[in-house]
Chains A and B, each alone.
Chain A
């Protein structure tokens, strides 16, 4: 478990980082908190010739709230988001404690987690549920990628070679939107076996908009559109919960692994979604 040889650089500006990345092409890889990349190097699952440590770039460490939401720099640590709080973006607050352990969150970054696109990761699910925007930087400038188009398969994102995720915009939600984040992991801090995120808006007790997402059940987090449709316009009574949970279990296509079969993950998503909806019901 020793990494193969690699070169390492630690630029202090985004431009410099982009230059290094452009120079080395697909031989280079950004290094953020290292909580996923370093184990991959040690297992020799990744063999970049050059690591471009983006941890010293001030521009990527900003965390501000503007009119559209929370703008979180790629290398802001997960622990900082958890500690500083993200008012108006409850789902993010609810999700943070599920990411690994505090030690992991102290180094792991928001951008690293999203770029890494682990199927079982929490932040991609939050991004999808809220419709976050990913901002990619390259020598040619910046482009925005909606969360729904960002994740491109397990551990794959839609950044081009030479592009860096510079920040993520998590929209704030109106106070009438109620959120729940539920996951089942084998031990506290483990990656989820299955999870559900919910942001639901109500008027007079009826659902006016529901954004429901399941994660750890496929290549990337998925919006549960049938489950959303099942609650649209309804009071979250027992029948609505059952309809939505059943719809969710039917619409996902989970995989098997040693922690559970596809069938078990369907049952989990149904149970977790039911509990999430119970929690948000006014």
Chain B
């Protein structure tokens, strides 16, 4: 680790309550989203989507729609002669050959089949109704179990099965341990749910001087630009991607969707701005779904319940898999988290990702980890019951203690720091107290049962992109320029979906340069204005983007000091930068200001030290040294730059009459290493818990046997403020020795634990009925069925 990762001085903003930069604009309705952009001459599209889950397209008739007043053109796949299918760089998967419009088959209800371009969305929707498509319906595959059947109908006829990914590692060592010990087996499933950002997907394409400008909601300006250049007949230099205000991404907006390509193609063809704004009904069927995993665990158990070895099979239901980047990576991430923060040295995981006739799965906050945590933490409670030991003591006997660190897990994850045991003990202390209170309150109520459940976990943060794309890796970029007035421009490849990225960029830049934060202007998410970076995913931006900022700032800082030393006639090493002024440490005067230094650097260059190049600017790139992109021969990989950890406790009341679970208390101890902005960290945890609760108790994307989606937005129950408990959040800070400033990502720790904690609380609450709790969501109907 280079020592340039230091801030360079005393932090003023880092670790302090810096107000988020965008709050004023957001709270006063001034944020400009794609849906607010209305360039003159703009046309809009409506997408004709397949009502059929699986079928061959035999005819498409567009003439009647094209004749509607105000319709500019109706296109189908046949028109896209110069468009290439999305690439697939992952040699270890089969290739769906995803095309922006269905070519001859549709593989999910909602699949885009044709596009109507019209003067406005009203006309486009009127005409879309008139497009007639004939389908030869095929039997639909609607569950992962069905997809695994050898005689299952195939989605892709040139494949020999429905397994896009099928990794079966050598399990002989674990098999031997299983053969000579007591073995426990369980199957766990997590249902299908997804992100419901307030802003749906949107894209607006314009052509300026022969260049395509795409304003969109994607989480990556540069990956989007590069991908567009692969799919469209356009050089990358002729594409600019700009991401304005975004109302929540959560991973769902990581994918470059067909509509992004289609509006671009239409804008190029017609030379006028073309916009798509997804409506909520489309969002339910055409934006990426998530989770939908099945996990089989077989474990060799010692007499005291400790897990000696595990053989695990993870199966992910990908839906139709027609999405870019592909969506199998959550299953790999599940595999990497199967041992949790426990000392379980022998664990082998096979992974399959199968295609079904459902909306393509994709990225969603948590990204495979909630599935692993739910399965493992439920499993540990079940072992405790089976063996007759205390579930907390069983965890204690396996949890990694401070002396065990650094620890490399069976999957290859390097846990270099963390507070696994400490955070767990704290949550147990608070959880048991809250449980005793709840028990006292409801003991005499014949309709209520209360329970407390725990989950303790680590989560890989700042991962390589290689697992998802097999193409991009893991670096981030930053350019810092001090302008003649001393103001700072910082441009980075990171992006802001509302989580406060802009604020941390300003914070670290200000502290690393020793300037006042108000003098820092942040430029993100414009591929013309920022150096190539990978943007938002996997809680990476503070860690990796932060590293790039610190590297660029160190270079600028060094030059600032050299110029100042020359101007002040003082030794460079004696100088400090504070509040935009450079002076000798301990004596505030004489001083030179950032403005004077920058003016010297770019205007009055005659005053520069002899031989120094003009300019006060640096661009840096940072890729964490320990992050690995591909596994070793045994399948082990340290795919993340860091590992955060958390412990959750849920105290619940179950209504025996209705089956409803009420969260009485939610307690979470979290450790994301060094904290840059405490309120933002709290906000991430709150939001994470809400999404975790949503998937555990409320949200369920259902399909019937024909592959017809059954969950409209009205039935997709995102928890609201009323359903959200007021969580107790405890902070631990175990800085990573391997990341800039010891930072770890914070985006996901709240999301990944609720299913496990609530599942375990339910098992305790209903213990008298011996409930089988192996699946989420735990809807009231499901819970009621556990009660006689």
Binding site for B on A (CB under 8 A): 1-5, 43-44, 184, 186-190, 193, 258-261, 264, 267-268, 270-272, 274-275
Which B733-788 residues sit within 8 Å CB-CB of chain A? 779-781, 784-785
Query: Within 8 Å of chain A (Cβ to Cβ): is B121?
Result: yes
Partner of A187, one of B280, B700, B717: B717
- Chain B residues in 8 Å Cβ range of A267: 657, 784
Most B Cβ at <10 Å: residue of A186, A270, A275: A186
Query: Within 8 Å of chain A (Cβ to Cβ): is B104?
Result: no
8 of the cross-chain contacts (CB-CB < 8 Å) are A1-B280, A2-B125, A186-B780, A258-B700, A259-B779, A261-B781, A264-B659, A264-B785
Partner of B281, one of A5, A43, A193: A43
Expressed in whole angstroms, the Cα–Cα distance for A275 and B445 within the complex equals 13
When C-beta atoms are compared, the residue in chain A nearest to B702 turns out to be: A258
Expressed in whole angstroms, the Cα–Cα distance for A190 and B280 within the complex equals 18
Expressed in whole angstroms, the Cα–Cα distance for A186 and B715 within the complex equals 9
Which B447-471 residues sit within 8 Å CB-CB of chain A? 447
Partner of B698, one of A3, A184, A186, A272: A186
Q: How large is the interface on B (under 10, 10 to 19, 20 to 34, 35 or more residues)?
A: 20 to 34
B784 touches A275 (CB 8 A): no
Known interface pairs A186-B717, A259-B715, A267-B784. Does A1 touch B281 (Cβ–Cβ under 8 Å)? yes
Known interface pairs A1-B279, A258-B700, A261-B781. Does A184 touch B658 (Cβ–Cβ under 8 Å)? yes
* Closest-CB distance, B138 to chain A (whole angstroms): 25
A2 touches B122 (CB 8 A): yes
* Closest-CB distance, A180 to chain B (whole angstroms): 14
Which B670-704 residues sit within 8 Å CB-CB of chain A? 698, 700, 702
* Closest-CB distance, B292 to chain A (whole angstroms): 16
- Chain B residues in 8 Å Cβ range of A1: 125, 279-281
B715 touches A258 (CB 8 A): yes
A2 touches B121 (CB 8 A): yes
Expressed in whole angstroms, the Cα–Cα distance for A136 and B240 within the complex equals 61
A271 touches B780 (CB 8 A): no
List 16 additional A-B contacts (Cβ < 8 Å) besides A184-B780, A258-B700.
Answer: A1-B125, A1-B280, A1-B281, A2-B122, A2-B125, A3-B122, A184-B658, A193-B780, A260-B780, A267-B657, A268-B657, A270-B657, A271-B657, A271-B658, A272-B657, A272-B658
Query: Within 8 Å of chain A (Cβ to Cβ): is B711?
Result: yes
Most A Cβ at <10 Å: residue of B121, B126, B280, B719: B126
When C-beta atoms are compared, the residue in chain A nearest to B44 turns out to be: A2
* Closest-CB distance, A132 to chain B (whole angstroms): 27
The 3 closest A-B pairs by CB, nearest first: A271-B657, A1-B279, A260-B781
* Closest-CB distance, A191 to chain B (whole angstroms): 8
Expressed in whole angstroms, the Cα–Cα distance for A184 and B657 within the complex equals 10
Query: Within 8 Å of chain A (Cβ to Cβ): is B722?
Result: yes
Q: Is the interface of A mostly helix, strand, loop or mixed?
A: loop
Expressed in whole angstroms, the Cα–Cα distance for A264 and B659 within the complex equals 10
A187 touches B781 (CB 8 A): no
Partner of B781, one of A2, A259, A270: A259
Query: Within 8 Å of chain A (Cβ to Cβ): is B19?
Result: no
B122 touches A264 (CB 8 A): no
Most B Cβ at <10 Å: residue of A1, A43, A258: A258
Known interface pairs A1-B279, A1-B280, A264-B785. Does A187 touch B698 (Cβ–Cβ under 8 Å)? yes
Binding site for A on B (CB under 8 A): 121-122, 125-126, 129, 279-281, 447, 657-660, 698, 700, 702, 710-711, 715, 717, 719-720, 722-723, 779-781, 784-785
Expressed in whole angstroms, the Cα–Cα distance for A267 and B122 within the complex equals 45
- Chain B residues in 8 Å Cβ range of A268: 657-658, 784
Expressed in whole angstroms, the Cα–Cα distance for A258 and B785 within the complex equals 15
* Closest-CB distance, B409 to chain A (whole angstroms): 38
* Closest-CB distance, B706 to chain A (whole angstroms): 15
* Closest-CB distance, B116 to chain A (whole angstroms): 12
When C-beta atoms are compared, the residue in chain B nearest to A193 turns out to be: B780
Partner of B126, one of A4, A43, A275: A4
Most B Cβ at <10 Å: residue of A184, A270, A275: A184
- Chain A residues in 8 Å Cβ range of B698: 186-187
Known interface pairs A187-B722, A190-B717. Does A274 touch B779 (Cβ–Cβ under 8 Å)? no
Expressed in whole angstroms, the Cα–Cα distance for A2 and B722 within the complex equals 30
Expressed in whole angstroms, the Cα–Cα distance for A270 and B787 within the complex equals 14
- Chain A residues in 8 Å Cβ range of B122: 2-3, 5
Known interface pairs A4-B126, A190-B717. Does A258 touch B711 (Cβ–Cβ under 8 Å)? yes
Known interface pairs A43-B281, A258-B710. Does A5 touch B781 (Cβ–Cβ under 8 Å)? no
B657 touches A264 (CB 8 A): no
Expressed in whole angstroms, the Cα–Cα distance for A130 and B443 within the complex equals 37
- Chain B residues in 8 Å Cβ range of A260: 779-781
B658 touches A188 (CB 8 A): no
- Chain A residues in 8 Å Cβ range of B715: 258-259
B781 touches A264 (CB 8 A): yes
Expressed in whole angstroms, the Cα–Cα distance for A260 and B779 within the complex equals 9
Most A Cβ at <10 Å: residue of B122, B447, B657: B657
- Chain A residues in 8 Å Cβ range of B722: 187-189
Expressed in whole angstroms, the Cα–Cα distance for A1 and B713 within the complex equals 12
- Chain A residues in 8 Å Cβ range of B129: 44
When C-beta atoms are compared, the residue in chain A nearest to B785 turns out to be: A264
When C-beta atoms are compared, the residue in chain B nearest to A263 turns out to be: B785
When C-beta atoms are compared, the residue in chain A nearest to B46 turns out to be: A2
When C-beta atoms are compared, the residue in chain A nearest to B712 turns out to be: A43
Expressed in whole angstroms, the Cα–Cα distance for A37 and B431 within the complex equals 47
Expressed in whole angstroms, the Cα–Cα distance for A264 and B785 within the complex equals 8
- Chain A residues in 8 Å Cβ range of B659: 264
When C-beta atoms are compared, the residue in chain B nearest to A267 turns out to be: B784
* Closest-CB distance, A259 to chain B (whole angstroms): 7
When C-beta atoms are compared, the residue in chain A nearest to B719 turns out to be: A187
B126 touches A187 (CB 8 A): no
When C-beta atoms are compared, the residue in chain B nearest to A260 turns out to be: B781
Partner of A188, one of B447, B711, B720: B720
A264 touches B720 (CB 8 A): no
Expressed in whole angstroms, the Cα–Cα distance for A184 and B660 within the complex equals 9
Expressed in whole angstroms, the Cα–Cα distance for A2 and B780 within the complex equals 34
* Closest-CB distance, B7 to chain A (whole angstroms): 45
* Closest-CB distance, B149 to chain A (whole angstroms): 25
- Chain B residues in 8 Å Cβ range of A274: 657
Expressed in whole angstroms, the Cα–Cα distance for A64 and B10 within the complex equals 71
- Chain A residues in 8 Å Cβ range of B280: 1
When C-beta atoms are compared, the residue in chain A nearest to B715 turns out to be: A258
* Closest-CB distance, B662 to chain A (whole angstroms): 12
Partner of A275, one of B657, B700, B720: B657
Expressed in whole angstroms, the Cα–Cα distance for A108 and B717 within the complex equals 22
* Closest-CB distance, B196 to chain A (whole angstroms): 13
Partner of A5, one of B126, B717, B720: B126
* Closest-CB distance, A130 to chain B (whole angstroms): 25
- Chain B residues in 8 Å Cβ range of A261: 781
Expressed in whole angstroms, the Cα–Cα distance for A5 and B70 within the complex equals 14
- Chain B residues in 8 Å Cβ range of A193: 780
Known interface pairs A258-B715, A260-B780, A261-B781. Does A187 touch B720 (Cβ–Cβ under 8 Å)? yes
Expressed in whole angstroms, the Cα–Cα distance for A87 and B214 within the complex equals 60
- Chain A residues in 8 Å Cβ range of B279: 1
- Chain A residues in 8 Å Cβ range of B121: 2
When C-beta atoms are compared, the residue in chain A nearest to B722 turns out to be: A188
Expressed in whole angstroms, the Cα–Cα distance for A188 and B660 within the complex equals 12
Expressed in whole angstroms, the Cα–Cα distance for A3 and B121 within the complex equals 10
A187 touches B723 (CB 8 A): yes
Most B Cβ at <10 Å: residue of A3, A43, A260: A260
When C-beta atoms are compared, the residue in chain B nearest to A261 turns out to be: B781
* Closest-CB distance, A163 to chain B (whole angstroms): 29
* Closest-CB distance, B28 to chain A (whole angstroms): 20
* Closest-CB distance, A213 to chain B (whole angstroms): 18
* Closest-CB distance, A97 to chain B (whole angstroms): 12
- Chain B residues in 8 Å Cβ range of A275: 657
* Closest-CB distance, B787 to chain A (whole angstroms): 9
Most B Cβ at <10 Å: residue of A5, A187, A261, A270: A187
* Closest-CB distance, A230 to chain B (whole angstroms): 18
Most A Cβ at <10 Å: residue of B658, B711, B717, B784: B658
